[in-house]
């Protein structure tokens, strides 16, 4: 096993900068997730670590070894792609054995590794089949198995679950987590899916437009987002943003007023008289007739069984009027057109600079 360390890695394609100034270190045996919107540079980072792409600048270490100039084959990493890339003319067993054969592993070892991997991924009954005789989920497990059988120092997974249907994705995600608990390979996993990031990661690296936005464990990323991008990317429905004016004591949204908690005031001194974006998560908004902060009108009601999601518009003269996502207990039965009196949990209020997106209440 090994650590993976990136120091100021950049990758440019002619005049396109795919990634810039990427630095992080994945400790031996940990499971890290790179997450961000499509095009933010996730695959480029993974391909650079694998050696399928050369960094334009920066240094890349696997263990203590500088590997910028080391060809992919000699890096002892295994990568699993979104499109399984199995060899169609080979059986499942031959696919699983392929990487080991290429490295001249002795046949006995190959046999025992294939059996162990097939058992742990529940594909032992499929060993004689060809990939076209498998379902998507089974093919993906063979692709994972082929990488696992090699017992690489580092595991790289690029959106490996995104071709699976929802149920299978949940199951395979849990299997992956269990597998890592057993094998403990250093793993770097790429996804645009925030649920996968939250559920799988020891540490999450949030990326946007080729830059690292924040690195932290899932709970910290959720509870202490560094900026507006991170705050609105993780969480479903996302954190609400409300444009407001700060007057030194309260936030004003036209005629409506949200008091500024004392704990926020020192950090907001320079924002006095300025526009800010308030951030509040859907589960931190409650119905309250007494001491409400905001009035809003229900536009959409989505019952989900365990909870009800409500979308409500805050009436403002300035358009577009802000829309709030609100998560309510299922026994409350709001209807479209209802006017709600809302109280925000001010302990969980975030304040962002609307220009830079930086969080002001750090």
Name the residues that contact Mg ion, by CB under 5 A. Answer: 43
- Shortest gap between Cβ of 154 and Mg ion (angstroms)? 18
Rounded to the nearest whole angstrom, what is the least distance from the CB of residue 16 to ligand ADP in the complex? 5
Nearest CB to Mg ion, comparing residues 43 and 214: 43
Measured in whole angstroms, the distance separating CA 216 from the mean position of its chain's CA atoms is 11
Nearer to ligand ADP, 38 or 104 (CB): 38
253 - beta bridge partners?
Answer: 256
Instruction: Between 53 and 76, name the residue whose CB sits nearer to ligand ADP.
Output: 53
Among Mg ion, ligand ADP, none, residue 38 binds (CB under 5-8 Å by kind): ligand ADP
The minimum distance between CB 22 and ligand ADP, in angstroms, equals 11
Cβ-based burial of 156 (10 A; exposed 0-12, middle 13-18, buried ≥19): buried
Q: Which is nearer to Mg ion, 43 or 240 (CB)?
A: 43
CB of 11 to ligand ADP, least distance (A): 8
The Cα 132–Cα 109 span in angstroms is: 27
Alpha helices in 184-259 (DSSP H): 194-200, 218-223, 228-233
Which one of ligand ADP, Mg ion, none is in contact with 319 (Cβ closer than 5 to 8 A by kind)? none
Residue 38 or residue 355: which is nearer to ligand ADP going by CB? 38
- Ranked by CB distance to Mg ion, the top (closest) residue is 43
CB of 233 to ligand ADP, least distance (A): 13
Q: Alpha carbon of 55 to those of 22, 32, 67, 204, 327: distances in Å? A: 11, 20, 11, 22, 44
Question: CA-to-CA distance for 227 and 359, rounded, in angstroms?
Answer: 5
CB of 301 to ligand ADP, least distance (A): 34
Q: Which does 39 bind (CB under 5 to 8 A by kind): Mg ion, ligand ADP, none?
A: ligand ADP
User: Which residues form the interface with ligand ADP (CB under 6 A)?
Assistant: 13, 16, 18, 36, 38-44
Nearest distance from C-beta of residue 143 to ligand ADP, angstroms: 18
Instruction: List CB contacts of 156: < 8 A, sequence separation 6 or more.
Output: 46, 49, 50, 77, 78, 79, 80, 187, 188, 190
Measured between alpha carbons, how far is residue 211 from residues 21, 107, 162, 217, 232 in Å?
7, 45, 23, 18, 16
**Contact of residue 41 among Mg ion, ligand ADP, none (CB under 5-8 Å per partner type):** ligand ADP
Cβ atoms < 10 Å from Cβ of 4: 24
Query: What is residue 334's three-state secondary structure?
Result: coil
Q: Which is nearer to Mg ion, 43 or 361 (CB)?
A: 43
Task: Return the number of the residue (206 or 328) whose C-beta is nearest Mg ion.
Answer: 206
Q: Three-state DSSP class for 283? A: helix
């Amino acid at each position: 096993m090994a650590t993976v360390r990136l120091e100021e890695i950049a990758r440019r394609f002619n005049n396109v900068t795919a990634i810039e100034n990427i630095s992080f270190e994945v400790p031996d045996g940990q499971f890290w997730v790179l997450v961000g919107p499509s095009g933010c540079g996730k695959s480029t980072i993974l391909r650079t670590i694998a050696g399928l792409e050369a960094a334009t600048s920066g240094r890349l270490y696997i263990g203590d070894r500088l590997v910028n100039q080391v060809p992919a084959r000699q890096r002892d990493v295994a990568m699993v792609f979104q499109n399984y890339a199995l060899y169609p003319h080979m059986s499942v067993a031959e696919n699983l054995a392929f990487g080991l054969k290429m490295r001249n592993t002795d046949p006995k070892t190959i046999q025992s590794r294939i059996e162990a991997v097939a058992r742990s991924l529940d594909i032992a009954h499929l060993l004689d089949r060809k990939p076209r005789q498998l379902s998507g989920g089974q093919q993906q497990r063979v692709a994972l198995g082929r990488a696992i059988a090699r017992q690489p120092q580092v595991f790289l997974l690029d959106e490996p679950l995104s071709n699976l249907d929802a149920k299978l994705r949940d199951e395979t995600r849990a299997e992956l987590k269990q597998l890592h608990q057993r094998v403990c390979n250093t793993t770097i996993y790429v996804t645009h899916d925030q649920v996968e990031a939250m559920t799988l990661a020891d540490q999450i690296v949030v990326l946007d437009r080729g830059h690292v936005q924040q690195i932290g464990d899932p709970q910290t990323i959720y509870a202490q987002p560094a900026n507006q991008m991170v705050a609105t990317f993780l969480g479903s429905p996302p954190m609400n943003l409300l444009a407001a004016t700060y007057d030194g004591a309260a936030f004003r949204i036209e005629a409506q007023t949200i008091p500024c908690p004392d704990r926020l005031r020192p950090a907001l001194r320079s924002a006095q008289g300025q526009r800010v974006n308030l951030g509040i998560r859907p589960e931190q908004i409650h119905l309250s007739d007494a001491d409400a902060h905001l009035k809003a009108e229900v536009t959409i009601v989505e019952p989900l069984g365990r909870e009800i999601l409500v979308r409500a518009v805050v009436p403002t003269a300035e358009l577009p009027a802000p829309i709030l996502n609100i998560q309510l207990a299922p026994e409350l039965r709001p209807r479209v057109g209802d006017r709600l009196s809302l109280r925000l949990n001010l302990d969980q209020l975030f304040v962002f600079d609307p220009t830079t997106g930086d969080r002001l209440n750090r």
